[in-house]
Structure 1
Amino acid sequence: MEVIIRPDRLSAVDLTVRLIEKRLRDKPDLVLGLATGRTMEAVYAGLVASGVSFARCRTFNLDEYIGLPATNPNSYAHYMHTHLFSKVDIDPANTHLPYGMAPDLKLAAREYEDRIAAAGGIDLQLLGIGQAGHIGFNEPLSALMSRTRDKSLTPATRQQNAGMFGGDAQAVPSRALTMGVGTILEARELLLLACGAAKAGVIASAVEGPLTSRVSASAIQLHPSCKVVLDDDAAAELTGREYYDFVFSNEPEWAEFREETDR
């Protein structure tokens, strides 16, 4: 795992955008795993502004609410269309989200896994992290080898997402279809972005704490190619800051990004 800490939210988002843009330019037919949330809106705006082509890219989103049709403004299908898909040259047939309106959710989950496999697996999976330390909607005590499935959402998660529902946690759907932790770990590369002081505790648990199903994001410690991009506030409780900064300042693979961020 590599932890890259930038001075502020803007520079953390910018580095994330540049990493994804580079992967797309190096591999135009990239299979890209996508996430949602407030922080990701800035990432998608940056990718749109970059002008990078998505013409051959295929995408798979982490999750979708159960019971919200794609036309609902609070669905993740609508979110992705609004913030990315409608603004780049991606083929809509190459965009995939779990189908939360399926009459048979377990079948929909299996079919989603099959579509990922048929695409050759995910090359790069973008991740955020929830207040409970979850990735996707893998709530505390999710099995670390879990697959795509339907999950009940905790009151804390519904409260965290209430902003998208007029501040009413009760309006947030109580269940979602989500990639499992095991599904996420099968991506060839992980890229987790977190910003803000509210994420400092869960980031410290995920990055430096014990591997535990109570913090599903701690599973990223098992991945051979994982990058965690943080702003100063989100990194506030990390103990290895000196080492993380040393790696970013000295590893050759980061040279072009150091030059760009130092301009």
Structure 2
Amino acid sequence: MTSSAREDWLATPGEALGRGTGIGFSVVEDRAALVQEFARQMLAEFAEARAAGRQRVLFIVPVGPTGQYEILADFCMAQRLSLRGLTLLGMDEYLAPDGDWIAEADPLSFRGHLRRHLVERMDHELAPRIIFPHPHRLAEPAAEIAAHGGVDVCFGGVGMCGHIAFNEPPEPGEVVSVEAFAARPTRVLRLSRETRTINAVTATGGDIALLPDQAVTVGMREILSARRIRLFLHRPWQRGVVRRMMHGPVTAAVPASLIQRHGDVAVVATRDVLPSPVPAIG
């Protein structure tokens, strides 16, 4: 790709994001509005699936952005709305040096986050079922998906390197075709330097040593199998990746770009994400 072609899609103005791509794109004011919309969509998708006669509904879900699960739990409690019949498959989880999940009590645990911010805020008879990929039982997510008749919706965010879940792009010099990357299943992997760096900025005060270097993740195979994909972006550092994802070439180097080949994708972003990335010394 020439530098001019690269600049063409990186310079896509905010008001043109998504235009001509077949990917839905909508804008909300800020993070508070984003997580409200996230919770609203989860409820709407569950209601639609149940109205269509689906007794067992499965969503793949992230931890970040954060805030939507408290909204979901509090609404269901106030309305006495049951989420029984809904299974939430957490996208990924950090691993300890011994290769097992980090402890659920660890502040970085995604399992612990969903338990505290969703399940424990709800009466047992109203709460959804929560499952996560296990590093020693990697076939379980595919089996769960099959038992549910497929993934109804994959909700998610997008990492700075373009990952969805922890589907990291190939390392420099590693050649992986789009088809091979799209077929990658649930697996254990080592996190990229980029992911550990930005996650340290957002989760550990910049101390990379506090971030685990391994994780278990659902694969692109599971994500792309979803009937619908819904992504939520609110970080200023996502200005580049949102353009690579929707307007750049489809490539394993930007895992989220593979959504361009999916038939039902929508992105919600805050206004912070809209400006084109412009080099500047801060």
Which structure has more helix as a fraction of its residues? 1
Please name the residue that 1:46 is paired with. Answer: 71
Aligned to 2:147: 118
Task: Provide closer, same or farther for how the CA distance between residues 85 and 31 of structure 1 changes in structure 2, counting only shifts above 3 A.
Answer: same
How far is 1:93 from its partner?
A: 8.5
CA contact (8 A) 1:53 1:88 kept: no
Amino acid at match of 2:48: D
Q: What is the aligned partner in structure 1 of residue 130 from structure 2?
A: 95
Structure 1 residue aligned with 2:89: 60
Q: Distance in 2 between matches of 1:79 and 1:226?
A: 26
Residue 129 of structure 1 corresponds to: 158
Q: CA deviation at 1:152?
A: 0.8
> TM-score, with normalisation over the residues of structure 2?
0.75
Task: Report SS of the residue matched to 2:272.
Answer: coil
- The aligned runs of 1:1-263 (5 Å cut-off) are 1-28=23-50, 29-37=56-64, 39=65, 41-51=66-76, 52-67=81-96, 68-89=102-123, 94-100=129-135, 102=136, 108-141=137-170, 143-162=181-200, 163-165=202-204, 167-237=206-276
Q: 1:121 to 1:88 in 2, by over 3 A?
A: farther
- CA RMSD after TM alignment: 2.1
Aligned 8 A contact 2:236 2:272 in 1: yes
User: How much has 1:214 moved relative to structure 2?
Assistant: 0.7
User: Which segment is superposed worse, 151-160 or 82-91?
Assistant: 82-91
In structure 2, what is the Cα distance between the partners aligned to 1:88 and 1:23? Answer: 19
Q: Which secondary structure state, in structure 2, belongs to the residue aligned with residue 150 of structure 1?
A: strand
- Give the superposition deviation at 1:165: 3.8
Residue 245 of structure 1 aligns with which residue? Answer: none
Relative to structure 1, the CA distance from residue 211 to residue 90 in structure 2 (aligned partners, 3 Å threshold; closer, same or farther) is farther
Report the AA paired with residue 152 of structure 2: D
CA 1:88–1:32: 2 relative to 1, 3 Å: farther
Cα distance between partner residues in 2 of 1:231 and 1:207: 16
Other structure's SS at 2:243 match:
helix
| TM-aligned CA deviation for residue 153 of structure 1 | 0.4
Cα separation, partners in 2 of 1:215 and 1:90, compared to 1, 3 Å: farther
Aligned partners of 1:54 and 1:89 also within 8 Å? no
Supply the distance in 1 between the matched residues of 2:218 and 2:249 (Cα, whole angstroms). 22
Change (3 A) 1:118 1:189: same
For the 8 Å contact 1:53–1:89, the answer to whether it is kept is no
Give CA deviations for 1:11-55 in whole Å, capped at 9, x if unaligned: 233222221111122334421111012x2x221122123224312
Instruction: Give the Å deviation of 1:136.
Output: 0.5
204 and 93 in structure 1: CA distance in 2 versus 1, 3 angstrom threshold: closer
What CA distance in whole angstroms lies between the structure 2 residues aligned with 1:207 and 1:87?
Answer: 36
Cα distance between partner residues in 2 of 1:89 and 1:33: 22
Do the aligned residues in 2 keep the contact of 1:151 with 1:177 (CA within 8 Å)? yes
Q: 1:178 to 1:48 in 2, by over 3 A?
A: same
* Residue-by-residue CA offset, 1:134-157 (whole Å, 9 max, x unaligned): 100011127122111111101221
Length-normalised TM-score, structure 1: 0.80
**How far apart, in 1, do the equivalents of 2:124 and 2:59 lie?**
12
Task: Name the CA shift for 1:93/1:190 in 2 (closer, same or farther; >3 Å).
Answer: closer
